[in-house]
Amino acid sequence: MVVKVYGPIMAACPQRVMACLLEKDVEFEIVHVDLEAEEHKTSDFLLRQPFGQVPAIEDGDFKLFESRAIIRYYAAKYEERGPNLLGNSLEGRALVDQWLEVEAHNFNDLVYTLVLQLVVLPRMGKHGDVVLARSCEQKLEKVFDIYEQRLSNATYLAGDSFTLADLSHLPGIRYLVNDAGMGHLVAERKHVNAWWEAISNRSAWKKLMKLVNY
């Protein structure tokens, strides 16, 4: 049974899920959701995801939403297949969850707001709030300073191997570096830069980039 991933292939949160499925070699098909046409606000879609957000998945009878729940589910379900994305012990898993939470609470909203103001709104022909974007950028500098410190002590966020904690950052950092002109946040930090090079050159991520066709 092929997993159905609902959402546009360009959007960060569906990409988080697709990156995980590719790492785990799980077959999936993308069911496009047209955000500009507000398809995510239709009553049909709300039955699938009652908050009107992407992604959602359908795997036979099993349905789930929230990208970080979906990646945890598949990383556990296919623990024996492909790279171990959950750490090698309970304590290792705790660090994966810790840094996933850090990404969710300290990193994600800043990236989302900045990219909305500098990239998405202008693409829609609207004015972005540059002052708000700059404020996000300044806060992100501080977050990346903490990441720099952490990555000077460990190759990946949760320890010695690539896990969901690193994977979860891929779509957002790609937007920052490639679309929002924020490459300096990564390039100016030696360990963050090395980490970004390593994680963005993984074959699963490169496969996804080909699929998206940037």
Partner 1 sequence: MVVKVYGPAYASTKRMLVCLIEKEIEFETVPLDLFKGEHKDPEFLELQPFGTVPITQDGDHILFESRAIMRYYAEKYKLLGTDLLGKTIEERGQVENWLEVEAHSYNPPIYTLTLQILYPSKLGFLRDENLIKESEEKLAKVLDVYEEKLSKSKYLAGDFFSLADLSHLPFTQYLVGKMGKEYMIRSRKHVNAWWDDISGRPSWQKVLQLYPAPF
Tokens in use for 201? Answer: 């050159």
By CB under 8 A, is residue 139 in contact with partner 1?
A: no
> Do β-strands 3-6 and 28-31 pair in parallel, antiparallel, or remain unpaired?
parallel
Please select the residue that binds partner 1; options are 25, 34, 101, 188, rule is CB under 8 A.
Answer: 101
**Which positions from 179 through 208 interact with partner 1, judged by CB under 8 A?**
none
By CB under 8 A, is residue 98 in contact with partner 1?
A: yes
Report cis status (omega within 30 of 0) of the bond before 122. no
Query: How many angstroms separate the CA atoms of 178 and 176, rounded?
Result: 6
Contact 147, 166 (CB under 8 A): no
Binding range to partner 1, per CB under 8 A, among 2-10, 20-28, 36-44, 59-67: 59-67
In terms of Cα–Cα distance, which of 25, 23, 27 is closest to 5?
Answer: 27
By CB under 8 A, is residue 62 in contact with partner 1?
A: yes
By CB under 8 A, is residue 72 in contact with partner 1?
A: yes
Contact 35, 47 (CB under 8 A): no
Provide the CB-side half-sphere exposure for 47 (13 A, CA). Answer: 3
Please select the residue that binds partner 1; options are 17, 100, 115, 204, rule is CB under 8 A.
Answer: 100
Binding range to partner 1, per CB under 8 A, among 32-40, 103-111, 113-121, 204-212: 103-111
Chain residues in the site for partner 1 (CB under 8 A)? 50-51, 62, 64-66, 68-70, 72-73, 76-77, 90-91, 93-95, 97-98, 100-102, 104-106, 146, 149-150
